[in-house]
Chain A
Amino acid sequence: MEHQGLNLMDQALGFHSNVTQQPWPLCGRFVLVEDCVDTSGAFVLHHILKHSFTSRPSSAVIFLAFAHPINHYDRVLRKLGCNLSSQRDNGRFFFLDMLMLQCPVEGKPKHDGLATVFEKIERAISELHPENKKFVTVVIDDISCLEVAANGSSNDVLDFLHYCYTLTSENGYALVALNHQDIYSDGERPAFMLEIEYLADILVKVDPLATGLAKDVHGQVMVLNKETQKQQGISSIKVQNFHFKIKENNIEYFYAGTRT
């Protein structure tokens, strides 16, 4: 199922469309994954990560890790049948370890914390092999940790995301980011999350099952795909809802009510 590229998540993200002719379907798009404490959405990142390596011979991933060290991703991806270390040796996987990143406190003369991070991304892209520059995916895991690194300044984070977003429109790169929705859900700053949602072309919301915990269903996903014409704006919004079950080596996606 996974290999046919025809599971529900692939369809929702647009991977099913003519694999060889089209460029990478996420080219020039920003995929925002929103999860919550009860249900982690990291599997969507892994899914896209794996897909970008397996479906294209010449693609590269720049991974900004604020949440986990590389070993974590290496183990997870190996289970999914994808070797990150070898991809790194091939120059197709750039891992930027941001775990210890702490931006200087505001008010200091050189306050350019996230600007230097963006600089690192640009440098990593410039170091890529020209052949691999066609389908670059920038992955950010995750935005709330990024915000912590930026001393809680959501404005800086939005600036940073804006700069990453310019990469998608200028060079046709893909941007994938994970965010935790329940941190921002109540009162104080809902605008921060909405602002990112405005930026996003594809919004993947991962929630626990609405009807309560279940053994065979680990959660529900809503994929909201804004069909954008870069010139005209949004031409339609497609919404898909389905359930998922995380297994050891893969993830099953299915419509509600089709599993007993």
Chain B
Amino acid sequence: MAESVCRSLRDGVLEGELAPALTIKDSLSSPFGFNVFSHILVQLSSHIVAGKSQSRGMVIVSLSRSPSSYTGLLKMNGVDVESSKKWIHILDCYTDPLGWKDKTRKSGDIMDPSNQILSSYKTVKDVNKLFSVICDLGRGLVGENKSRFCVAIDSLSELLRHSSMQSVASLLSNLRSHDQISSIFGLLHSDLHEERALAAVEYTSSIVASVDPFHHSVDGQGSYIRNSSEPNLTKGKLNIRSKRRNGRVRVTCEEFKVGPSGISFAPVSAVDGAAVAGLIPKVQFNLQLSEKELVDRSRVVLPFEHQGNGKPIQIYDGRRSLEESNNETTPISGGKKEESGRGEIIYFRDSDDEMPDSDEDPDDDLDI
């Protein structure tokens, strides 16, 4: 549940534990990871502004989106960015991650003093330095005391591209164990990386939210559904796997729909349940009996029960002696053909000891 994820990020860290960390995974077949990321970003920052969360500030490391898009996003959702109390800082690794633009402009590392919430970072390949810069910025927001801040990294994939898996994993675990950080969350494109890099990132996070396509693509992973029946793709599923401290893992699933106004979540609709029910073959009869049917059934007199009332029971058990069988209407003693035109089976019993044929229906000659 997206709500519960926001809640656990908001509640932050318990003393002596690692900070909760959320990794949002998406893939090209459902590239809505950034929508989930921005949803959580907006939720969390409104909690921070309202003073309802453990963290008092937020540091956004922007690698794949421009910093102005974040301020725009927050303003659009009614979050006060330029409030008197400074609570947000955006570390700009997007505009000039490698310092190329610096060379042409010769502007040096001087920060624009008028811009209070933005600072640029030009050596993305140096992840250790990135860690210390993030911590410094956070400390600048919340002060040196016990209060905490949270960190948002908008593309772990970019980080993984610029530096090794080990250094990114150590950055994440350093952030989690930092004593002033209350929570971290980041976005990862799962199809860009090796399995082990994904696993390393997932190990260092307590919650993994994976954005999956609504329908499973037929043509395998990594490509869009080519001849998709619906030309507009707006829906998807969010699978959330959260780990408790005691090791319990909880997996939940939710549907989402994106639109011009943002992303909206809904519990998995009952369509799935109906589809499962539809798989059971429809039968014309009941497999169970009702109360009344049970009573009626117990009243039925079975054929062999109603025969004995007064008269001799005429069930041929195949072992009668000859004199009784003489009374029967069709004599079975051989040699006497009354009407040759009629077909008839003549049967001689070899002896009285002979058992009836095993494949013959024992009830065949019931006389009811």
Binding site for B on A (CB under 8 A): 112, 115, 118-119, 122-123, 155, 158-159, 162-163, 166, 169-170, 190-191, 194-195, 197-198, 203, 222, 224, 226, 229-241
Contact = CB atoms under 8 A, between A and B. Distances in A.
A226 B224 CA distance: 12
B262 interface: yes
A198 B189 contact: yes
A193 to B, nearest CB: 9
A85 to B, nearest CB: 29
Contact of B227 (A169, A230, A241): A241
The 10 A-B pairs of least Cβ separation, nearest first, read A233-B34, A237-B233, A231-B73, A233-B35, A236-B234, A115-B100, A169-B66, A231-B72, A191-B192, A236-B232
B191 interface: yes
B259 interface: yes
B215 interface: no
A190 B232 contact: no
B260 A190 contact: no
Nearest to A222: B226
Q: What's the interface size class on B, roughly?
A: 35 or more
B185 interface: no
A238 B232 contact: yes
Interface string B178-204: 000000000001011100000000000
Given A197-B28, A230-B69, A235-B260, A190 B100 contact: no
A169 B69 contact: yes
Contacts, number: 105
Contacts of B228: 239
A103 B57 CA distance: 44
6 contacts: A112-B103, A194-B222, A233-B32, A233-B38, A236-B232, A237-B233
Nearest to B232: A236
Contact of A198 (B28, B76, B226): B28
A203 B97 CA distance: 25
A238 B258 CA distance: 13
A184 to B, nearest CB: 11
A195 B34 CA distance: 15
A239 B234 CA distance: 12
B259 A236 contact: yes
B66 A118 contact: no
Contacts of A235: 234, 258-260
A197 B224 CA distance: 11
Contacts of B38: 231-233
A162 B161 CA distance: 12
Contacts of B262: 232
B161 A234 contact: no
B260 A226 contact: no
B222 A119 contact: no
Contacts of A159: 97-98
Given A119-B103, A239-B233, A194 B69 contact: no
Contacts of B224: 203, 224, 237, 239
A191 B193 contact: yes
Contacts of B32: 233-234
B143 interface: no
Contacts of A119: 100, 103-104
A118 B100 contact: yes
A112 B100 CA distance: 9
B205 to A, nearest CB: 21
A20 to B, nearest CB: 23
Interface string B63-82: 00110010011001000000
Interface in B326-346: none
Contact of B161 (A158, A190, A222, A236): A158
B94 interface: yes
Given A191-B193, A234-B258, A226 B94 contact: no
A241 B224 CA distance: 13
A169 B64 CA distance: 11
Interface string B28-58: 1001101101100000000000000000000
Contacts of A118: 100
Contacts of B192: 191, 194-195, 198
Given A115-B103, A166-B95, A237-B31, 20 more contacts: A118-B100, A123-B104, A163-B96, A163-B100, A169-B69, A170-B66, A170-B95, A191-B191, A194-B191, A194-B222, A198-B192, A222-B226, A226-B31, A230-B69, A233-B38, A234-B31, A235-B234, A235-B260, A237-B232, A237-B234
